[in-house]
Amino acid sequence: MSASVRAYIGLGSNLENPIQQVKTALTNLENLAETQLIAQSRLYASPPMGPPDQPDYINAVAAIDTSLSPELLLDELQRIERRQGRVRKGERWGPRTVDLDLLLYGCELIESKRLTVPHAGIHERAFVLYPLREIAADDLVIPGRGSLGELISACPRDGLQRLDEVL
């Protein structure tokens, strides 16, 4: 593998056995070309952000080292989502079999039609910050937002619950 970048991926599911969906997505991440799965958080349960008439989510965060470009990595993440039955209906924050978000790509700031990194909202979402803290240091810098430790100290759990199950 050529020069690699540490990236963080947010995983979420609230349909069709969400715990298994997240585990399957982690296996798929582990099998990506030019990518090595470095760490994964425990699973967390969180209330939905979007329409309230949907099941709670199961969330996790994974750290990978990859030599894929951010755009190629996004393509691969979307391929995994499709393979696991994700259908994009245009409904924002609606229920889904699996959602894979590129949260951070090294210390890069990326703003394109297809991709925003750091992921929008990362700094205020408990279901991202708390699992991320399990696998990254408090001094991890979220470009343009501050350190992980600072962000967590300002972010209430909002119903987030860590599950005892270890992946």
> Catalytic: 114?
no
Q: CA of 132: how far to CAs of 20, 37, 51, 82, 85, in Å?
A: 20, 14, 25, 24, 25
In the set 83, 86, 138, 164, the catalytic residue is 86
Beta bridge partners of 45: 58, 161
> Catalytic: 99?
yes
In the set 6, 56, 96, 125, the catalytic residue is 96
> Catalytic: 65?
no
In the set 6, 75, 88, 101, the catalytic residue is 101
Nearest to 130 by CA among 156, 96, 167: 156
- Residue 14 half-sphere exposure, CB side, CA atoms within 13 Å? 18
Angle 70-83/18-30 helices, nearest 10 degrees? Answer: 140
> Catalytic: 138?
no
Cβ atoms 57, 18 nearer than 8 A:
yes
In the set 6, 56, 75, 99, the catalytic residue is 99
Cα torsion for 72, 76, 79, 84, to the nearest 10°? -160
Q: Which residues have a catalytic role annotated?
A: 86, 96, 99, 101
